[in-house]
Amino acid sequence: MRVAIIGAGQLGQMLALAGIPLGLQFRFLDRSADTPGGRVAPIVVGEFEDPAKLLALAADADVVTFDWENISASALAVLGNKVAIHPSPQALATSQDRLLEKQLFRQLNIPTPAFAAVDSREQLREATRSIGLPGVLKTRRLGYDGKGQFVLRSEGDIGKAWKALGAQPLIYEAFVKFTREVSVIGARSTGGEIAIYPLSANVHHNGILRHTTAPYSHRSLQQQAQRHLRRVLRHFDYAGVLTIEFFVVRGRLLANELAPRVHNSGHWTIEGAATSQFENHLRAILGWPLGSTEARGHSGMVNFIGTMPEAAPLLRQPNLHLHDYGKSPRANRKLGHCTVVERSAARRDARLRKLLK
């Protein structure tokens, strides 16, 4: 079967690497051939929303899916009913707008930080009064890895925040004093089967994921996360992998955002789970049975951001799995990651501490 993927970044590359052993064939669409996906499968080079390129990508494909979710539903309309598209353009549209995302969580009774839409300086002032300070002002669209965000600590920051981000649709959120950040990743197949991974515990610096440990074993949080994830999956009649990121506050989950795709915090599943998130995404969108999401031991995943370390010293370490996406170095760019899998959480944590040094 043939899978067409919009976006040829590292997520696309890892999807193809998971699907090739299953006999699947892949084709990507991206602005450049020099991309991680382009190293493992043919690529249509062009703009994501160019109708001719989308048709070329989808020709003979059984399903179209995404490594990058910021494509408009109207651009995808050119594919009509010619080919299945998973996840649905509706799920994509919600995930593209932080306000729609938070409103959906609210509609589904999934707790979130307090938030308000902001379209003027006056609304920002009002939001800081009703929600309080500190708070985070975020662009509603196209923000990722901490981009398009401004933390306001006092009234004096209102002008600065407005100057930095104003004149586009924004959302103001309460600044959450969380004890931990976790994400839940799960797959739902076209037939409605659902499989959910154990929670991942995530550490971000400057809005970018630095490292993840999993499974994060906490019965009540796992149950809450599964309940929330199932609601979102069913709401969209979703097919594929979906991720929700949460803040943990006093034993409760507050939803921060959702990603309608495989996720960086699930890279540990390649070596640390019975079936990787990438394989389960493919199984889900093709209507195949889902694989077990059970963890194999205790995993730690470290992102390489801005520079790739020398490979040899890492490869000398036992049970270390190195992934180099082959991207050129740039500040704050995710270039690769490594995962260690250990028999106990204590051993995993000790190794992670050494790696992070």
Q: Which residues bind ligand AMP (CB under 6 A)?
A: 113, 136, 143, 146, 173, 175-176, 181, 204, 207, 245, 256-257
Q: Which residues contact 268 (CB under 8 A, 6 or more apart)?
A: 200, 212, 213, 214, 299, 300, 301, 339, 341
Task: Answer yes or no: are the C-beta atoms of 278 and 24 closer than 8 Å.
Answer: no
Cβ atoms within 10 Å, residue 149: 17
Toward ligand AMP, which CB reaches closer, 86 or 261?
261
CB atoms within 10 A of CB 9: 18
Q: How far is CA 317 from the centre of its chain?
A: 28
Three-state SS annotation for 203-225 = EEECCEEEEEEECCCCHHHHHHH
The minimum distance between CB 133 and ligand AMP, in angstroms, equals 12
What gap in Å lies between CA 118 and CA 128, rounded to an integer?
10
Return the number of the residue (58 or 127) whose C-beta is nearest ligand AMP.
127
Q: Tell the smallest beta-carbon distance from residue 26 to ligand AMP (Å).
A: 28
Measured from the Cβ of residue 164, the count of other Cβ atoms closer than 10 Å reads: 12
CB of 139 to ligand AMP, least distance (A): 10
C-alpha to C-alpha distance for 185 and 245, rounded to whole angstroms: 9
- Residue closer to ligand AMP by CB (options 152, 320) is 152
Q: Are strands 43-45 and 200-205 parallel, antiparallel or unpaired?
A: unpaired
Task: Please give the backbone phi and psi of residue 7, each rounded to the nearest 5 degrees, phi first.
Answer: 100, 130
Rounded to a whole number of angstroms, the minimum distance from the CB of residue 112 to ligand AMP is 9
Q: How far is the CB of 207 from ligand AMP (least distance, A)?
A: 4
Among residues 96 and 256, whose Cβ is nearest to ligand AMP? 256
Smallest separation, CB 194 to ligand AMP (Å) = 24
User: Residue 356 Cβ, how far from ligand AMP at the closest point, in Å?
Assistant: 17
Nearer to ligand AMP, 61 or 185 (CB): 185
Return d(Cα 197, Cα 205) in angstroms, integer: 24
| Closer residue to ligand AMP in complex, CB, 138/283 | 138
The rounded distance, in Å, linking the Cα atoms of 259 and 326 is 24
* Segments in 25-72 forming alpha helices (H): 51-58
Nearer to ligand AMP, 28 or 247 (CB): 247
Q: Which is nearer to ligand AMP, 190 or 265 (CB)?
A: 265
Least separation in angstroms between CB 155 and ligand AMP: 18
